Amino acid sequence: MNTFAGISAFAIIAISAPAYAGEVVLYEDVPAWVDVAEIDMSSVADGPSEVLVDWQYRLEGGTVHEYHDRIVRIDNLQALTSEGTLKMTWAPDKGDLFVHRLEIIRGDEVIDLIAEGTEFEILRREQGLERRLLDGRLTATLAVPKLQEDDLLRVAHTITIDDQALGDEMQALQYLPSEPYRVGQSRVVMSWPKDSGITYQAGPDVEVPDLEVRDGFEYLTIDLPLAKREDFPGDAPSRFRRAPILRAGSFDSWQELSQVMEPHFTAAAELSDDGAVASEAKAIMAKTDDPLKRTELAVRMVQDQVSYLLDGLDGGNYLPQSAEDTWEKRYGDCKAKSVLLLALLQYMGIESDVVLVATRGGDATPELLPLPASFDHMIVRANVNGTDYWLDGTTTATRITNMDTVPAFHYALPLKPGGAGLVPMTDRPMSSANVVIKLEADHSAGVDLPALISVEMQMFGAAGAQFKAIVDEGDPETEKRWRNMSGGSMGIGQISSVEFAYDDELAMGSIKMEGVSQPMFDYDKGELTMEADGIGRQRAFSPNRARPKWKNIPVATRGPSRSIMMNSVLLPGNADDYTINGDQSLDQGYANTRVIRNASLEDGRFTFEQQQVNGLGEIAPEDIPAARLASLKLTKADLTVDAPTNSVRRWERDRAALDTLTASARKRYDMAVAEADDDEFGPLQSRAQFFNTIYDFDNAQKDLGVIIAEEPTADLLMSRADMYEALGRIDDAIADIRAAYELSPENYIAYAEARLLRQTGRADEALALIEALPIGEEDLDDFASERAYAMAMGGDLDGGLALLAERIEEEPDSGSLLNDACWYRGIFNVSLDDAMAICTKAIERAGNPASAIDSRAMIHYRLGELDQALADLDSALKLNPELSASRFMRGIVMQAQGNNADGAEQIRQALLKWPYLEQHYKLYGIEPQ
């Protein structure tokens, strides 16, 4: 934010003519013009702690007087601390601070601290120096003596403001608090001489009473708080959501305001032909004849060689430094930088003027009174070859490529001789991108193996300039932070290297990252699909205008911006075998947004480019339905790449092939682990996941072990238990499960231990463990199933069947219970006569039926119905090819059919995925041939 004029939430900023002001606190009686509020002291013990808040303003003779009277009740120690120190701030070059009352009211006693000689201490207030603000304000501060709990503290003071910049003109503003703000009695009163030409406005949506005329003055009184404000949708233009403010001032038009302000800036921009600024202008002109290039060089000079510092001393809040002075000092605020830029451009013959803008809420400017406080910033408008350029000397990295960007300020007030009215800052599409993301993926190892990823993000303009400091500092901690925070958002599972760069001529900052991603292809119902538009997916335009009062409110759109995303994926196998689904070329728009997309398959690669252009503006209420529909169509314009159905899956490969294909990915994981700090375990966890993906369970458990030794969690312990089980290290798996239960005593963890216990001949221990668990209503299904299986492994097959049947009677539509009953019959080879009906019902009730179909396949196998068993196993694997148990049984069935070679291959693949399967099925009499 660049300070042009400041507005305090509960205070006034006033403008008037030059006058001498003091640097001491003046102690005087309440001015005669003030209508002192009367308080019913009998009622102050109850109600809000703020008993009185009274604001009164007098605009007269070029000076604005702000009177503030407040009574607060000290209810507790916290209030005593917060209210016991007073601070009042004023600008000594513009006015005085008068203290009228400083009283402690204790029952019927009034302690007049001023009469007792209490005085404020004066501090020079330069609290904004860290933000390059030097405003020259003074602060009067006081630790209130004698104040106690249950006292009332009353303080009344006046600040006068007589600004040097605006002649006899004045302005006053007061925020109008609304409910639920609580106060015993509050109001704001503004007054001015009758027929003095003061105009006023309160809004938005504030009912303003008629003026009262007393003793030659007009009075406007608004009681506070206002009624609770209506809620507005967050995407409404800011003018609908702005805070209620009472404004008053002596300007009759924007043109008059421009006319009053202009002379200060015109004079400040005058140059001596032999001065330093003129010399710089001549040097620019010698470099190029192109007026646009000259404009760029002038802006760069102001941005890069003059630091920002608000100098508010000596009337400086509105009065600018001269261009020569700014160049000599090499610092200045938005006014000083704008004047220097104006001087350079005008010297070079480029049509230009300074303009006032509002950096927030600018769309409301035409609705406001013409006051200087309607603006908080100044920039320069230059016209080059018939195009307006809006140039900000306080920002950075302006170049020809981005100079046509229109800031989101909506309106500007040019300061021109004779004055000018408001001009719209009409948005236009950015001619070049401000963000470019390039992603290259080497997915050649396989559709379900990790991909090598390289991402470059380029940012231009002010955003890109932030990288200059990063490059100059070369801090390795910055690289680590980016490595840790950027992976998921950039589509990288693990970043292995980060490199920053900055190109000053292009004003382009870039970050290049290399790493590894999880497979980009997802499997669903027999198809391997990559969502090509995952990074560039559109969010639906869905403004909420359901409330009747919202129906006529437009939707604000953010802009301007232009982003480009370019993806290139090297595919495994033959690219001709892949197919693209969806519109490869697309150019659609909605709600001031345009999306351009192009995709292709060639040279073994899938390439995808998407460009999005966002414009600042509004969508009229009557246009919202059409914009919503256009947005919906675009969000559904999916673009996917389908892999061939015969794509080689990782379990079809052998150990050596997997290691060879993933060697480059492992190097990147190793690099990330090596670069990580000793207490940074993210890369280790990522590498463990990678090892698990390629069925290297031993290395996976080792990486998990390093983390667990330092920061054990139940999830990590359960993951390592899975690795131990896959390796057949059952005792180690049980130990990890027990450790996990100590950290997080959840029933599902205990069930995992019970399962391993019963599979290793310790069914009695499993049953005792299950029966000792705390069971709630939501646990009954799992409890019945786990208990039944433990009973069966202990020899009580009938008891287990009965227990499941009893629970199914209570929950007849539970797909999981029905599947457990089906699997129980198949794995223990019991009660097969009613098994098929139960299994089929389980499939019908299942949300994802793959597991239930696998269970039914076991029934077919036990019944000797090998063809039906194989068909079910094929269906289950089509739904979920990751089911290693289904693949193992597919091999068993194929061998039973006499197809030993193919069956053995299926078993090999299953045991690659889960080596312990052979031991597991051996418990139930099922073994490979």
Residue 62 contacts residue 195 (beta carbons within 8 Å)? no
Residue 740 contacts residue 721 (beta carbons within 8 Å)? yes
Rounded to 10 degrees, the C-alpha dihedral 758/764/768/769 comes to -30
Of residues 329, 339, 398, the one with CA closest to residue 134: 329
Question: Cα separation of 557 and 649, whole Å?
Answer: 46
Alpha carbon distances (Å) from 172 to 12, 95, 738: 6, 14, 71
| pLDDT digits 0-9 by tens, 223-258 | 999 999 999 999 999 999 999 999 999 999 999 999
Q: How many CA atoms lie within 13 A of 273 on its CB side?
A: 0
pLDDT at 638: 85
Name the helix (H) or strand (E) containing 780: helix 780-793
Residue 442 contacts residue 452 (beta carbons within 8 Å)? yes
Of residues 877, 879, 928, the one with CA closest to residue 907: 928
| pLDDT digits 0-9 by tens, 164-192 | 888 899 999 999 999 999 999 999 999 99
Residue 440 phi, psi dihedral angles, 5° rounding: -120, 130
pLDDT at 477: 87
Residue 641 contacts residue 530 (beta carbons within 8 Å)? yes
Of residues 194, 199, 109, the one with CA closest to residue 151: 109
Rounded (to 5) percent helix, strand, coil in the chain: 40, 25, 35
Rounded to 10 degrees, the C-alpha dihedral 664/668/671/676 comes to -160
Domains and CATH numbers, the chain: 25-249 (2.60.40.3140), 254-424 (3.10.620.30), 521-644 (no CATH), 819-929 (1.25.40.10)
What is the residue whose two structure tokens read 């899956």? Answer: 649
Question: Cα separation of 489 and 18, whole Å?
Answer: 56
Regions of the chain short of the pLDDT cut 50: 1-21, 128-132, 313-316, 535-536
pLDDT at 7: 35
Q: What's the predicted TM-score (pTM) here?
A: 0.84
pLDDT at 342: 99
| pLDDT digits 0-9 by tens, 379-437 | 999 999 999 999 999 999 999 999 999 999 999 999 999 999 999 999 999 999 999 99
Residue 80 contacts residue 148 (beta carbons within 8 Å)? yes
pLDDT at 690: 96
List strands edge to edge, sheet with 171-175: 171-175, 245-249, 199-203
Question: Cα separation of 788 and 783, whole Å?
Answer: 8
| Peptide bond before residue 180 is cis, with ω within 30 degrees of 0 | yes
